[in-house]
Amino acid sequence: MELLKEKIKQEGIVLEGSVLKVDTFLNHQVDAELMHEIGRTFEELFSESGVTKIMTIESSGIAPAVMTALRMRVPMVFARKRKSLTLREDLYTERVYSYTKQEESEVTVSRKFLAPSDRVLIIDDFLAHGEAALGMARIVGQAGAEVAGIGILIEKSFQSGRGKLLELGYRVESLARIASLDGGTVTFA
Ligand code: 5GP
């Protein structure tokens, strides 16, 4: 998606450890118009996939996920990173390791928001090693529902996530694929 790539080129900052900072439009301040275009693009890509629900993880996935949900006219549910105060029996729970934060967190979704009849489109801001997307896919599996596809805004193609997800048979659509962040420069695939 050219608009997103242009924005990354203009405003992205490459940090230590192959981390891309995009807090001017996605990770802190949010460019709502860009998010709406992203929602429209995912709608086009997955229009034939029978999507009944959008799922993401708080917090940066929420903006693009809600725009996709708006376009596709389905509900959006976000997995919560902290334990909810409600009973654990009411929750689907998975552990997700973050390479960027170097910590494991528990993500939860209330059982009442996923049904076996659901076809879930997973949306996330970044795809790196695939841990977040895999955690969400496992939650969808716990509910007996199906993953309709995985939509990513920014894929770091030089890391292992895409390969892992494709190996499991998931359809992965990434709007911007980065081949390298070497030398502090963003090179697209
Ligand atoms: P994964 O689980 O695929 O290893 O990493 C994806 C998650 O880690 C995303 O949800 C995102 O929050 C975070 N992440 C991974 N790489 C980056 C990055 O380069 N920049 C930012 N801002 N977040 C990242």
**pLDDT (tens digit per residue) in 133-157:** 999 999 999 999 999 999 999 999 9
Taking the centre of ligand 1 as the mean of its atom positions, its distance from the CA of residue 105, in whole angstroms, is: 13
42 contacts 172 by C-beta, under 8 angstroms: no
Q: What is the pLDDT of residue 152?
A: 98
State whether ipTM is beyond 0.95. yes
Q: What is the pLDDT of residue 85?
A: 58
CA distances from 35 to 28, 32, 47, 59, 188 (A): 13, 5, 18, 14, 20
Is position 132 annotated in a ligand binding site? yes
Domains and CATH numbers, the chain: 2-188 (3.40.50.2020)
Does the pLDDT at position 86 exceed 60? Answer: no
Is position 129 annotated in a ligand binding site? yes
Phi, psi torsion values for 39, nearest 5 degrees: -60, -40
Ligand 1 neighbourhood includes 127 CB (under 6 angstroms): yes
Q: Which of helix, strand or coil describes residue 11?
A: helix
Ligand 1 neighbourhood includes 161 CB (under 6 angstroms): yes
d(CA 60, CA 40): 18
